[in-house]
Structure 1
Amino acid sequence: MDNTLIQSLLENLKDPDESIRDAATHELWRLWFTQKGARGLELLERSQTLIDAGEYGHAEQVLTDVIADLPDFAEAWNRRAVLHYICGQYQKSLADCEQVLALNPIHFGAMHGQGLCHMALKQYMAAIHAFRQALEIQPYALENQKMILECTARLS
């Protein structure tokens, strides 16, 4: 990926103008989903269709196969992390999020996912840490701000 473009998009995530932030967010997701070209995108879309149909086992197999073939495809790991979260397999989701972040340290979606998993496991300090990491990249992300407040409330 073009590092100059990525750096520009990361700066745009911090812009006070919501439309600039939204465009940058959309472009980062597009880059992540298309990292492995049309074939990679097609496989991610196939897994999402299976998830939407409730065919979680089949979706997991598709994503696991993609990961085996393209182990550096961070978004395949992230999609499987999302699937594990949906299925209540929080430890598996956390492990996949760690892999996403090893491959793509700015993946705010994986950071948010870590926070959600830690919340589900009642690990509120770890959740707050994950949401704060995501906010370092996307400081205007209201969802992460809300989750930090919710976790803080649960600690008291």
Structure 2
Amino acid sequence: MDSLSINSLLEDLKNPDAKIREQATRKIWRIWFHQKGIYGLEQIDYSQKLIDAGEVIKAETVLTELIQKQPDFAEAWNRRAFLYYSIGQYQKSLADCKMVIQLNSVHFGALHGMGLCYAALGKYSDAIKAFNQALKIQPYSLVNQKLILECNFKLT
């Protein structure tokens, strides 16, 4: 990753102008998805087609093999975390989200995912912490703000 352009885009996520934030978000995701070149991107795309077709086990296999071949590919871990979350395997999803954060500490998607997993597990204080970490990177994220409010409500 070109850290200079990523840092500039991360700053754009804090811009009051929604259009600038949206463009920065799209560019960051593109960088993350293309991190390991065409092979990684093709495997992620293929896994998504399998998920869309209801072939979850095959999609998991594709992502697991990709992770084994490219263990430093944060987005492969993130996509598998999404898959696990979508089928209610919150502990597995959480473990993959944590791996994403180890590889890419500013991965707001994985921080958001961690918050969702913690909330699904009834660990609302941990969920709030994760959503707050994501908000440090994307302070205008309404979804994370809303989820923090919901988790706070469930704590009372």
Give the TM-score of the pair, scaled to structure 1: 0.99
2:9 is aligned with what amino acid?
L
- After TM superposition, where is structure 1 displaced by more than 2 Å over at least 4 residues in a row? none
Per-residue Cα deviation, 1:84-110 (whole angstroms, up to 9, x for no partner): 001100000000001000000000000
Superposition pairs of residues 5-16 of structure 1, within 5 angstroms: 5-16=5-16
Identity %: 62
* Aligned counterparts of 1:22 and 1:38: Cα–Cα separation in 2: 24
* One-letter amino acid matched to 2:40: G
Task: Read off the aligned partner of 2:36 and give its amino acid letter.
Answer: K
Partner residue, 1:140? 140
Tell me the number of residue pairs that the alignment of Structure 1 and Structure 2 aligns: 156
CA distance, structure 2, for counterparts of residue 93 and residue 8 of structure 1: 29
Q: State how 1:1-156 maps to structure 2 within 5 Å.
A: 1-156=1-156
| 5+ long unaligned stretches in structure 2 | none
Deviations 1:50-88 (A, max 9, x none): 011111100000000000000000000000000000110
TM-score w.r.t. the length of structure 2 is 0.99
Distance 1:54 1:129 in 2: 33
Q: How far apart are residue 38 of structure 1 and its match?
A: 1.2
CA drift at 1:140: 0.2
Q: Which amino acid aligns with 1:80?
A: R
What is the CA RMSD across the aligned residues, in angstroms? 0.4
Shift of 1:39: 1.2
